[in-house]
Amino acid sequence: MENIKITHSKNAILQLKDVSVSYTPEKFAVKKVSTDIYPNTITAIMGPSGCGKSTLIRAINRMHDLYAHITTTGEILLKGRNVLEMDPMEVRRMAGMVFQQPNPFPTMSIYENVLAGYSLNGIRLNRSEKDEIVEQSLMSVALWDEVKDVMSKRGSFLSGGQQQRLCIARTLALKPEVLLMDEPTSALDPISTNKIEELLLELKQKFTIIIVTHNMSQAARISDNSMFMYLGELVEHGNTAQMFTKPQHKRTEEYLTGVFG
Partner 1 sequence: MKDKIFRFLLFVAALLILLLSAAIVYALVSRSGETFREYGIWGFITSAEWDPRSATEEYGALSFILGTLYTAFFALLLCVPFSLAVALFNGEYFKGKKIAGVVRSVVDLLAGIPSIVYGLWGFYTVRPLVIALDVNAQGFGIFLSSVVLAIMIIPYASSLSGEFLSMVPNNLKEGAYSLGATRIEVVQHISLPTAASGIVASYILALGRALGETMAVTMLIGNTNRIPGGLRGTGNTMASVIANQFGEADGLKLSALITIGLLLFIITAVINLIAKLVMKKLSHA
Q: How many CB atoms lie within 10 A of CB 176?
A: 19
Binding flag, residue 184, partner 1 (CB under 8 A) = no
Cβ 190 to partner 1 shortest distance, Å: 23
CB-CB neighbours of 256 under 10 Å: 19
For 217, other C-beta atoms within 10 Å of its C-beta total 9
Based on the shown chain and the rule CB under 8 A, indicate whether residue 96 belongs to the binding site for partner 1.
yes
User: Per CB under 8 A, which region of 71-79, 169-177, 238-246, 250-258 contacts partner 1?
Assistant: 169-177
Contact with partner 1 (CB under 8 A) among 1, 120, 125, 150: 120
Distances (CA, A) of 18 to 2, 28, 30, 95, 222: 16, 13, 10, 20, 27
Residue 90 CB: number of other CB atoms within 10 A?
Answer: 13
The interface mask with partner 1, positions 60-79, x = CB under 8 A, is -x-x--x-------------
DSSP symbols for 127-148: HHHHHHHHHHHHHHTT-HHHHT
Report the nearest approach of partner 1 to the CB of residue 97 (Å).
Answer: 4
Handedness of CA 89, 93, 95, 100 (dihedral sign): positive
| Residue 116 interacting with partner 1 (CB under 8 A) | yes
Asked if 204 interacts with partner 1 (CB under 8 A), we say no
Among the listed residues 39, 47, 52, 117, the single contact to partner 1 using CB under 8 A: 117
Position 119 contacts partner 1 (CB under 8 A):
yes
Strand order in the sheet with 178-182: 95-98, 178-182, 208-212, 42-46, 225-230, 233-239
Taking Cα atoms as reference points, which of 100, 136, 122 lies closest to residue 211? 100
Q: How far is the CB of 76 from partner 1 (least distance, A)?
A: 16
Please count the residues of this chain forming the interface with partner 1, following the rule CB under 8 A. Answer: 25
Contact stretch for partner 1 (CB under 8 A) within 119-127, 142-150, 241-249, 250-258:
119-127
**Beta-bridge partner residues of 146:** none
Which residue of 122, 149, 190, 217 would you call a contact of partner 1, by CB under 8 A?
A: 122
Look up residue 67 and give its DSSP letter.
Answer: S
Among 121, 129, 201, 246, binds partner 1 (CB under 8 A): 121
Q: Using the minimum distance from each CB to partner 1, give the nearer residue, 47 or 176.
A: 176
Which positions touch partner 1 (CB under 8 A)? 61, 63, 66, 89-90, 92-93, 96-97, 99, 101, 103, 105-107, 116-117, 119-122, 167, 170-171, 174
